[in-house]
Amino acid sequence: MPQDFSQAAAYYRQAADHNMPMAQYRLARMWDTGRAGKENRAFARKLAELAAFSGDIRAKVMLGTDYALGIGGPQDLVLGAMWLLRGSIVDDAELRRQAQATLEAVTSQMTKDQRARAEKLAWADGEWHP
């Protein structure tokens, strides 16, 4: 069966509309890469945010990267580091490596105060603290 990104996006959209974090994340990736139609990184960021707040770990890493690099909206190193910290607590070794590498790059650009704010925000909402 040939790949049909349009159909896949429609199915993910239905699931995302029912607040399914995995579907929100996958649809975000499709909009981020243009596979759901014309590339729309701002919409992808909004979908990733919904999924991240619902607990999808991949969405947390995506959102952290988006904030850190200013993809799909304004750049915010503190929020980027916060989401990357939350996303680095994962059993998936490759995803953890990706989150930690991006986090290192982001924190190297931050002041000590910014890093402290990011850490405080990362664990403020009841997220697990290492």
C-beta of residue 1 within 8 angstroms of C-beta of residue 26: no
Mean predicted confidence (pLDDT) in 34-52: 92
Q: Class assignment of domain 5-122?
A: mainly alpha
The predicted-structure confidence for 62-82, as pLDDT tens digits, reads as follows: 999 999 999 999 999 999 999
- Boundaries of every domain in the chain: 5-122
- In this prediction the pTM is 0.87
C-beta of residue 109 within 8 angstroms of C-beta of residue 77: yes
C-beta of residue 32 within 8 angstroms of C-beta of residue 44: yes
- What end-to-end distance do the CA atoms of the chain give, in Å? 45
Taking the C-alpha atoms of residue 98 and residue 93, their distance in angstroms, rounded to an integer, is 9
- Indicate the pLDDT class of residue 37, thresholds 50, 70 and 90: confident
- Which segment of 7-16, 53-62, 63-72, 105-114 scores lowest on mean pLDDT? 7-16
In this prediction, residue 95 carries a pLDDT of 92
More confident of the two residues 125 and 54: 54
- Indicate the pLDDT class of residue 59, thresholds 50, 70 and 90: very high
- Indicate the pLDDT class of residue 127, thresholds 50, 70 and 90: low
